[in-house]
Structure 1
Amino acid sequence: MWFDVVLALSIAALLRWLVVLPVCVKGDSMRETLHSGDRLISLKLPARLGRLRRGDVVICRYPNERRYYIKRLIGLPGEKLELHDGELFIDGRQLHEGYVTRITRRRFGPIELGAGQYFVLGDNRTNSRDSRSVGPLRARDIRAVAVLRIWPIARAGRIGWRL
């Protein structure tokens, strides 16, 4: 009996350490996609294996900070990004973002990402501290990819918007 309990706890701890990162959303930078108080399950493996894709909702840390942030992965290594007139352009082509409900007229870029650099933005562009202010992130700054909302139950389900 005790062996089973210890084994179960050990497996749970190993999964938490290597595979899963539970997250509670705080703030409005990802609104309307995510709301403050939402609880998410995120997977560490895509980030660790370098399998990050544009549109992933990622859990990241900004350079020299310990706090986690939740943002959308927009720019990939080697790409050139520019934001103007409320529209986002990657390598000169407009990116259609159906999840953005509040656009900003603020201009940004162009910025060219180097090898191993990623660019993240909040879906609520008027109220988000993201790569526009902290700069590009390194691969090691991206800790996990959010895959499932588990709370509130009424909005539980898969998270994702591949671009």
Structure 2
Amino acid sequence: MEKERRLIQIRIQRLKEKIPVSKDNLKDLLKNGLFLFILFFSILFLITIKTHLVSGNSMLPTLQNKDRLFVVKNKEPKRYALVTFQPREKQGESYVKRVIGIPGDRIWMDQNTVYLNHQMAATNPTPPNEKNLSGVELPDGTLKVRVTWEVAAKLKGMSTIPSNSFFVLGDNRKNSTDSRELGLIDQDKIEGVVTFRYYPLARLGLIE
């Protein structure tokens, strides 16, 4: 009995003793930890972020041709945010534009001219008929945009922008293919919200 008790005490004592870690073992632990850390954030990056190469000058002066961007996937587009999307009519392509109209915004038509206003109630009357110009902001904040007749036919009868739909424009409106030709952009076609320009390095930074 005494012998068994002695053996138990010896085992307990050994468990209490600290086992020294060699420098080689410590280096291996640090390397493995760093590898797992990098692997985790690489997977997280691939899941939540995509890249976009700007093609053309439709977003001047905000973005320039060949700018490279980080885009956050599945982020809810806010008004005036930059988004990338796949136009329904041009499979395989990706555009970057600015969100001007969001679901619930007041929208009405005058022939092929669209009026957008997020501040006016749906009962407000149509503003006076002025010259049809692309992207004119009227004194009350209403945006007046001329669209193609095909888009006008699709928007006819709408009083508000439907849910999961967005009206987008290029910042360089004289040289941009956007909702004036493409119509409203469905949310399931939006790839994400532009957050950061990583190239060229001279213009590196967050995108407002």
Segments of 5+ residues of structure 2 without an aligned counterpart are: 1-30, 108-113, 117-131
More helix by share: 2
**What SS does structure 2 have at the residue aligned with 1:30?**
coil
- The alignment covers a number of residue pairs equal to 145
Q: RMSD of the TM alignment (CA)?
A: 2.8
Is contact 1:118-1:139 (8 Å) kept?
Answer: yes
Identity %: 31
Q: Which has the higher contact order (CA 8 A, sep 6+)?
A: 1
Larger Rg: 2
* Counterpart in the other structure of 2:63: 34
Which is worse superposed, 58-67 or 141-150?
A: 58-67
| TM-score of the two chains, using structure 2 as the length reference | 0.59
More strand by share: 1
Match of 2:101 among 75, 78, 103: 75
Closer, same or farther in 2 for the Cα pair 1:20/1:106, shift >3 Å? closer
**CA drift at 1:56:** 0.4
Is contact 2:146-2:180 (8 Å) kept?
Answer: no
Between the aligned partners of 2:181 and 2:133, the Cα distance in structure 1 is 18
* Counterpart in the other structure of 2:181: 133
Deviations 1:16-40 (A, max 9, x none): 1x21111111111111110011111
Is contact 1:87-1:94 (8 Å) kept?
Answer: no
Closer, same or farther in 2 for the Cα pair 1:152/1:72, shift >3 Å? same
* Displacement over 3 Å in runs of 4+: 1-11, 83-90
